[in-house]
A and B are shown apart, each in its own frame.
Chain A
Amino acid sequence: MVTNSVQPEPRLLRILNYVSAVLMMSAIWMMFFYAPSAQLEAGGETQRIFYFHVATGWVGMAVFIFAALAGIVYLARPHPTWDVLSVAAVELGLVYSFINIATGSIWARPVWNTWWTWDPRLVTATVMELTFLAYLLLRQSIEDPQRRARFGAIYAILGSLTVPLTYLSIRIWRTIHPVVIGSGDPSAQGTFDMVPQMLHTLLFSLLAFTIFGITLLWHRVRLGWLSERVEQVRMKAMRS
């Protein structure tokens, strides 16, 4: 059965809390003071949002894939832990991807001269976000916990197909979205040359956001166990 008693916050998690706070603050410091501003076509000072944009995008996609993997494990050996992990990952991915889309939009306003454009990258990212919103709606409308977990796992696996599509969309279709890593489409608008300080900042924010993401995921999983426990206690109370 589930870990019936929810333990107090483990030591490693408490350490992670502090580590991610320090990492995030350093990352923000690096974004503003260490990295130089980009050339004007890439948005000048606005380009600093790029570090947030890429880091949240990376973590968002990674946790969606993680949710699908947890789903596969759940289908192979049904244990509530995998379900709790999967739903925690999806929720985290939704928040991170939303930040990714929002920061992209803020950057696009001065550079592309519009908040939004129907570019393949923007469309596929939105489809990914909507798919996992649908995942939450699906879970909400199923009462039986085992069926909810099973359907959630299947939908997370199906939904994870949108992740490679989003990742590859700027590499297979013509797009105005810059491809900073690897070769870009000549029609991309707002590309810039990455100087070493920018690369350091990018790599450091990737690390910081990943560690922060893991910390959040862990907290969310503990919350998931708590709500499992609440459900069990409620069932017991209703039966007696």
Chain B
Amino acid sequence: MIRVLPYLGVVVRIVRKDLAVEWRSRQLVASMLVFALLVILIFNFALELDARARSELSSGVLWATFAFAGTLGLNRSMSIEKNGQAIDGLLLAPVDRSAIYFGKMLGNMFFMLIVALLTLPAYGILYNVNLFNGGLLLVILLGAWGYSSIGTLLAAMAMQARSRELLLPVLLFPLLIPVLVSAVRASGYFLEGLEMVYIWPSLNLLLAYGVIIPTLGYMFFDFVVEE
């Protein structure tokens, strides 16, 4: 039986550790952000985002950007553990290992959210669309939760393979499709101001995914980090 409060304490400590490491270098968020802006720039040339196309494509462009930028964060979050065998120290700690999973996952989610919050106003200014919409922010929150729950698990696996950085996107993107499809739809519908009747199916899929994957992660993380 897991006692809840000490368990949460471990999770919070791991998140704080990752945030402290990032705060000292500020490398990860900076490169994710620059990368995200570059992807948006590339989409601008690739899709010729004129005023009409923009309003329809915004949610797709944004989510593609988050998905690509997110892999940088996942790779980094695991490579700092691999450097100097920091992960071995973590695993030696007398705590439930799934707490490490949730800690890393919340850390990854936090970085994604920061990048999203910085990208949104930039995108809004560059393309003259108003993205500050409560619904969109909710979808980004749920999407980042789903993304980092599957991403953290797969990154922990890819880290132990031969071609880690190469492997992660290949493992990640097929399993990410349900999140991306429902997030793109829900954000698009929120931006168009449709009624909730149309939005609920996508939100439900996001919610279901956000329950199933962390549960599987909780069950499997032990097997992933086992030596």
Contacts and interface: CB of A to CB of B under 8 A. Distances in A.
Interface stretch (A5-13, A159-167, A206-214, A220-228): A159-167
Contacts, number: 56
Interface in B149-193: 150, 153, 157, 160-163, 167, 170-171, 174-175, 177-178
Contact of A127 (B163, B174, B220): B174
A203 interface: no
Contact of A155 (B157, B160, B163, B213): B157
B interface secondary structure, majority: helix
A151 B224 contact: yes
Interface residues of B, number: 21
Contact of A151 (B150, B157, B163, B216): B157
How big is the A interface, by class?
Answer: 20 to 34
B162 to A, nearest CB: 4
Interface in A120-172: 123, 127, 130-131, 134, 137-138, 141-143, 147, 150-151, 153-155, 157-159, 161-162, 165
Contacts of B220: 75, 154, 157
B223 A134 contact: no
16 contacts: A75-B223, A123-B177, A134-B170, A134-B174, A137-B170, A138-B167, A141-B161, A142-B162, A150-B224, A150-B226, A154-B153, A154-B157, A155-B171, A158-B153, A158-B213, A162-B174
Interface of A: 75, 123, 127, 130-131, 134, 137-138, 141-143, 147, 150-151, 153-155, 157-159, 161-162, 165
